């Protein structure tokens, strides 16, 4: 498969360190607040990559960290008069829950920063020993100019960085570009013992430490939001490579930002839509479609209109699955299923082309509906099975079923029998009244050649 690599700024083959196995690290959230809609994208993109590769037989080892110590978490805890760990625990749990609702496969390891303080200290000690870091009044700073490759990921040059610098002046720094690996504890803050006194880790070092711990050096793929390219990922590379003298990650994958009215969704801009609300309102499949309808690298603008379109698309797929649900026939061989599979795979092989993969699914639905219309049940069954399978590779559940469906089913069926009887004697007033009452109760009735079908709206 070919993927855009931020490091080389080109689409290139994804070459695995161990053939058949992908070692992937994805930057997770800082658990300072409820996850928002943008976080969903950063999880769905690697989720699709993982599902697709697993479908092709690759074994994926997926690590996603949780940043559970940081300035904002501490600030929030102070505001609420709570412990920082409590705040982190609350939002970490919420994040995990919402990702499960979204249908994102859980990572194999979900390390927390506070659980890896020792690894970080070891890494910092190596950097100091190498001359890449220095202690200053209880802080430890990374010496940016000691690392030749600094800027290779984000395309920046150290000297240019300096001129435009909005970096705050700090006398303890030998160079304004240097960044903190370890921060001396301030009163009341969570802190850990270290060779430099009590303190807490800087943001960037945790990913270097945890990626190294679980994936080793020179692992296959590192992902995250495009807003992390600089400085976070640049700094991760610097720290890791300065310490190990080996390449950190070979392939860098960055998802584009979610915007709202053209502006990036973020807490600081103040335009966030929480994921809880979005899931309540639209459900996992619609949100997933909304994101996958666009290249993972492009920005996507959130709007009611786009979400309505996504909902219409999911409805169309589900409508076909409902129509073809009861086909109890020997699926005919290959045919349209094979064509769709080929188009689908080709799309994803080419830089995770989910829009084109969607097109393959729409073609399958169109073909399947036409097959049903033509009475070709065996072919329709093939289309149905292929749709289920391929949509599943993208992480769609497409489930029409809920416990509510099961519970109301006997009632609805009984009413539909009455309606059938009314229709048989051309009593359309009664028939339409039943349909209208069901509709008002959220049950959509659709007549077909083989009788009425229904589903919850």
- Measured from the CB atom, the residue of 166 and 245 that comes closer to RNA is 166
- The helix (run of H) or strand (run of E) holding residue 444 is strand 443-448
CB 426, min distance to RNA, A: 8
Tell me how many degrees the CA angle 397-403-405 measures, rounded to the nearest 5. Answer: 85
Q: Do 13 and 2 touch, CB atoms closer than 8 A? A: yes
Place of tokens 């099975």: 385
- Measured from the CB atom, the residue of 206 and 220 that comes closer to RNA is 206
CB-count burial class (<10 Å; 0-12, 13-18, 19+) for 312: exposed
Tell me how many degrees the CA angle 35-36-37 measures, rounded to the nearest 5. Answer: 135
* Neighbouring C-beta atoms of residue 454, cutoff 10 Å: 20
- Measured from the CB atom, the residue of 67 and 96 that comes closer to RNA is 67
CB 327, min distance to RNA, A: 14
At residue 429, φ and ψ (nearest 5 deg) are -65, -50
- Measured from the CB atom, the residue of 124 and 365 that comes closer to RNA is 365
Place of tokens 């310490």: 243
- Measured from the CB atom, the residue of 17 and 430 that comes closer to RNA is 430
- Measured from the CB atom, the residue of 217 and 294 that comes closer to RNA is 294
Q: In angstroms, rounded to a whole number, what is the distance separating the alpha carbons of residues 178 and 133?
A: 9
CB 361, min distance to RNA, A: 8
- Measured from the CB atom, the residue of 157 and 401 that comes closer to RNA is 157
Beta strands in 137-248 (DSSP E): 139-142, 179-184, 199-201, 219-225
Q: In angstroms, rounded to a whole number, what is the distance separating the alpha carbons of residues 234 and 31?
A: 22
Beta strands in 261-415 (DSSP E): 263-264, 300-302
- Measured from the CB atom, the residue of 123 and 323 that comes closer to RNA is 323
Question: SS3 string of 61-108?
Answer: EEEECEECCCHHHHHHHHHHCCCHHHHHHHHHHHHHHHHHHHCCCCCC
CB 323, min distance to RNA, A: 6
CB 14, min distance to RNA, A: 16
Question: In sequence order, what are the residues at sequence separation of 6 or more whose Cβ sits closer than 8 angstroms to the Cβ of residue 404?
Answer: 456
Q: 375-390: b or e for each residue (b if 16 or more CB lie within 10 Å)?
A: ebbebbbbbbebbeeb
CB 416, min distance to RNA, A: 11
- Measured from the CB atom, the residue of 269 and 411 that comes closer to RNA is 269
CB 438, min distance to RNA, A: 11
Q: In angstroms, rounded to a whole number, what is the distance separating the alpha carbons of residues 400 and 161?
A: 53
- Measured from the CB atom, the residue of 17 and 158 that comes closer to RNA is 158
Torsion of the alpha carbons at 129, 23, 288 and 104, rounded to the nearest 10: -90
At residue 359, φ and ψ (nearest 5 deg) are -55, -40
End-to-end CA distance of the chain: 39
Nearest to 212 by CA among 133, 124, 100: 124
CB 180, min distance to RNA, A: 9
CB 245, min distance to RNA, A: 25
CB 20, min distance to RNA, A: 26
- Measured from the CB atom, the residue of 184 and 323 that comes closer to RNA is 323
CB 2, min distance to RNA, A: 10
- The helix (run of H) or strand (run of E) holding residue 11 is strand 10-13
CB 195, min distance to RNA, A: 24
- Measured from the CB atom, the residue of 86 and 447 that comes closer to RNA is 447
């Amino acid at each position: 498969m070919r993927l855009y690599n931020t490091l080389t700024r080109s689409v290139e083959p994804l070459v695995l360190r161990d053939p058949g196995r992908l070692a992937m690290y994805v930057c997770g959230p800082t658990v300072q607040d409820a996850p928002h809609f943008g976080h969903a994208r950063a999880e769905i993109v690697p989720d699709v990559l993982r599902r697709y590769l697993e479908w092709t037989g690759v074994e994926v080892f997926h690590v996603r960290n949780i940043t559970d110590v940081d300035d904002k978490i501490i600030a929030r805890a102070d505001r609420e008069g709570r412990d920082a760990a409590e705040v982190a625990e609350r939002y970490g749990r919420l994040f995990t829950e919402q990702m499960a609702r979204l249908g994102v496969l859980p990572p194999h390891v979900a390390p927390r920063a506070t659980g890896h303080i020792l690894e970080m200290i070891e890494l910092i000690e190596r950097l100091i020993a190498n001359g890449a870091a220095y202690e200053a009044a209880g802080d430890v700073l990374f010496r940016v100019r000691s690392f030749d490759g600094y800027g290779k990921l984000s395309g920046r040059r150290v000297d240019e960085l300096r001129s435009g610098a909005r970096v705050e002046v700090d006398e303890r720094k030998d160079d304004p570009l240097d960044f903190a690996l370890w921060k001396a504890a301030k009163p009341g803050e969570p802190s850990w013992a270290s060779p430099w006194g009590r303190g807490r880790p800087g943001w960037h070092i945790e990913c270097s430490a945890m990626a190294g711990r679980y994936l080793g050096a020179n692992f296959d793929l590192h992902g995250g939001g495009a807003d992390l390219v600089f400085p976070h990922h640049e700094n991760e590379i610097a720290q890791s490579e300065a310490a190990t003298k080996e390449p950190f990650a070979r392939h860098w994958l960055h998802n584009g930002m979610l915007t709202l009215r053209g502006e990036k969704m973020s807490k600081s801009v103040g335009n966030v839509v929480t994921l809880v609300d979005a899931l309540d309102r639209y459900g996992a499949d619609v949100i997933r479609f909304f994101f996958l309808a666009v290249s993972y690298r492009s920005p996507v603008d959130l709007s009611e209109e786009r979400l309505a379109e996504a909902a219409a698309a999911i409805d169309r797929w589900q409508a076909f699955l409902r129509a073809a649900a009861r086909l109890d026939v020997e699926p005919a061989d290959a045919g349209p299923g094979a064509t769709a599979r080929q188009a689908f795979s080709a799309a994803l092989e080419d830089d995770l082309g989910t829009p084109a993969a969607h097109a393959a699914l729409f073609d399958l639905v169109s073909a399947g509906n036409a097959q049903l219309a033509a009475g070709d049940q065996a072919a329709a069954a093939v289309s149905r099975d292929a749709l289920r399978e391929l949509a599943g590779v993208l992480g769609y559940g497409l489930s029409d079923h809920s416990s509510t469906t099961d519970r109301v089913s006997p009632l609805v069926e009984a009413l539909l029998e009455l309606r059938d009887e009314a229709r048989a004697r051309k009593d359309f007033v009664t028939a339409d009244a039943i349909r209208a009452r069901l509709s008002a109760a959220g049950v959509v009735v659709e007549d077909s050649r083989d009788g009425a079908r229904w589903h919850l709206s």
